[in-house]
């Protein structure tokens, strides 16, 4: 999952678009940026998006912000409020993202329902029921057209086959419901299983509903999970519940030439402005960003510093602590 932007080469720094957005986005993204500053040389370009920008300008995602994401080597995004769909869907498109990478892992020292959980979702990011083909046909009837292509499914599978090389498994777990949606999920399943077979990677099929139960009962059974768009969205949030909450989960939206990194959480209006948001998810997203820019060592350093701080403190109130975002950030920087 790398681009070769040369994140830590001072002579040729990678461009990183930074779009903090609304609510706690404006608190955790500056924290993550401090971490990036500590581990590499980057050319930062700042862009605006979200509810506040829509109020000022009429548009939640100004053209110049879209262009920043479409031209930067990587983008770090926080969160947008009510306008989330108007911001994040076009931003994913701006980077040409075809896969959403969502690791869900419990951390030592952090309360989790299922501390054994350590899996990653590789979610199709362009089609399925999120393709936007909904119609109101009458006062009584609305319909949705689900889009599944061989090409998008194979592209996801090819990415997954490369990705699995860095994991503790050599099997892709393919989640689908092809027993009911024979045409669409059938096509998805066949394309993923065939592409994996051609790449010499084993697959195990798991029906989507059974997966939801089994991941709660025996999360250690799952490692690298390939799924259609809606299933990946729902099941990865379910897994977030198993590992201790939304303040911990990073994600990457990867395209052929660039990528966008974002915490899974939203703007957290209940705590926004108080300076107590947990910056871990944003910092772990920044770790994925530097790894994507080919600096594996810096990514590992950030991850280690965040994990040590989660385990030994200080911690923000969502994890039972009393520390502010700034205090946690200082502690992570001190460990770097
Ligand atoms: P949320 O993720 O903002 O908050 C859910 C709960 O988790 C809240 O109690 C919040 O305080 C807590 N939480 C989330 N992140 C945290 C952090 N870093 N530290 C400590 N606690 C944290 O989800 P919610 O409440 O459903 O949505 C709020 C707004 O965010 C909505 O307007 C929604 O549209 C937007 N949203 C935006 C997303 C995006 O921009 N990608 C994703 C999800 C929601
Ligand atoms: Mg979601």
Q: What CATH number does domain 1-98+247-335 carry, 3.30.420.40, 2.60.120.10, 3.40.50.2300, 3.40.718.10?
A: 3.40.718.10
Contacts of 112 (CB under 8 A, 6+ apart): 106, 242, 243, 244
**Cβ of 268 less than 6 Å from ligand 1:** yes
The predicted structure's pLDDT at residue 2: 53
Tell me which DSSP letter residue 256 carries. Answer: S
Report the alpha-carbon distance of residue 2 to residue 257 in Å, rounded. Answer: 9
Mutational pocket test of ligand 1: of 89, 234, 246, the residue with most ligand atoms within 8 Å of the beta carbon? 246
- Residue of 163, 152, 176 whose CA lies nearest to 252: 163
Ligand 1 atom having least distance to the Cα of 28: 18
Domain 113-243, what fold?
A: Isopropylmalate Dehydrogenase (3.40.718)
- From the list 66, 177, 295, 301, the catalytic residue is 177
The predicted structure's pLDDT at residue 232: 95
* 259 CA → ligand 2 middle, Å: 18
Residue stretches of the chain with pLDDT short of 50? 4-7
The predicted structure's pLDDT at residue 7: 47
Q: What is the pTM of this model?
A: 0.93
- Whether 312 is catalytic is no
Identify the nearest ligand to the CA of 234 by its number.
Answer: 2
* 267 CA → ligand 1 middle, Å: 5
* 84 CA → ligand 2 middle, Å: 10
The predicted structure's pLDDT at residue 4: 46
Contacts of 246 (CB under 8 A, 6+ apart): 240, 263, 264, 265, 266, 281
Nearest CA to ligand 1 atom 10: 268
On whether the CB atoms of residues 26 and 313 are closer than 8 A, the answer is: no
- Count Cβ atoms below 10 Å from residue 58 Cβ, excluding itself: 8
- Whether 237 is catalytic is yes
- Whether 233 is catalytic is yes
On whether the CB atoms of residues 74 and 16 are closer than 8 A, the answer is: yes
The predicted structure's pLDDT at residue 12: 84
- Domain segments of the chain: what residues? 1-98+247-335, 113-243
The predicted structure's pLDDT at residue 83: 97
The predicted structure's pLDDT at residue 11: 75
SS3 call for 316: coil
Residue 15 structure tokens: 């461009």
């Amino acid at each position: 999952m790398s681009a070769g932007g040369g994140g830590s080469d001072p002579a040729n720094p990678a461009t990183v678009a930074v779009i903090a957005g609304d609510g706690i986005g404006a608190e955790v993204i500056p924290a993550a940026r401090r971490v990036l500053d500590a581990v590499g040389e980057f050319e930062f370009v700042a862009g605006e998006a979200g509810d506040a920008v829509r109020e000022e300008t009429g548009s939640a995602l100004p053209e110049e912000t879209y262009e920043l994401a479409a031209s930067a080597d990587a983008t770090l995004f926080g969160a947008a409020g009510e306008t989330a769909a108007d911001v994040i869907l076009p931003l994913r498109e701006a980077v040409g993202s075809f896969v959403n990478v969502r690791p869900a892992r419990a951390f030592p020292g952090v309360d989790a329902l299922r501390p054994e959980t350590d899996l990653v979702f590789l979610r199709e990011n362009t089609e399925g029921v999120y393709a936007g083909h909904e119609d109101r046909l009458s006062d009584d009837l609305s319909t949705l057209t689900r889009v599944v292509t061989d090409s998008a499914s194979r592209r996801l599978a090819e990415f997954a086959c490369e990705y699995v090389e860095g994991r503790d498994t050599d099997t892709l777990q393919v989640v689908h419901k092809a027993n009911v949606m024979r045409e669409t999920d059938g096509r998805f399943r066949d394309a993923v299983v065939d592409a994996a077979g051609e790449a010499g990677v084993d697959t195990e099929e798991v029906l989507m509903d059974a997966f939801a139960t089994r991941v709660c009962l025996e999360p250690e059974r799952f490692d690298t999970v390939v799924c259609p768009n809606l299933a990946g969205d729902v099941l990865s949030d379910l897994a977030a519940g198993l590992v201790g909450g939304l303040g911990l989960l990073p994600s990457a939206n990867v395209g052929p030439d660039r990528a966008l990194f974002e915490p899974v959480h939203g703007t957290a209006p209940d705590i926004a402005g108080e300076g107590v948001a947990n910056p871990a998810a944003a910092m772990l997203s920044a770790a994925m960003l530097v790894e994507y820019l080919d600096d594996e060592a810096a990514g590992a350093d950030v991850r280690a510093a965040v994990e040590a701080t989660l385990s030994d403190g200080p911690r923000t109130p969502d994890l039972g602590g009393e520390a502010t975002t700034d205090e946690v950030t200082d502690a992570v920087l001190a460990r770097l």
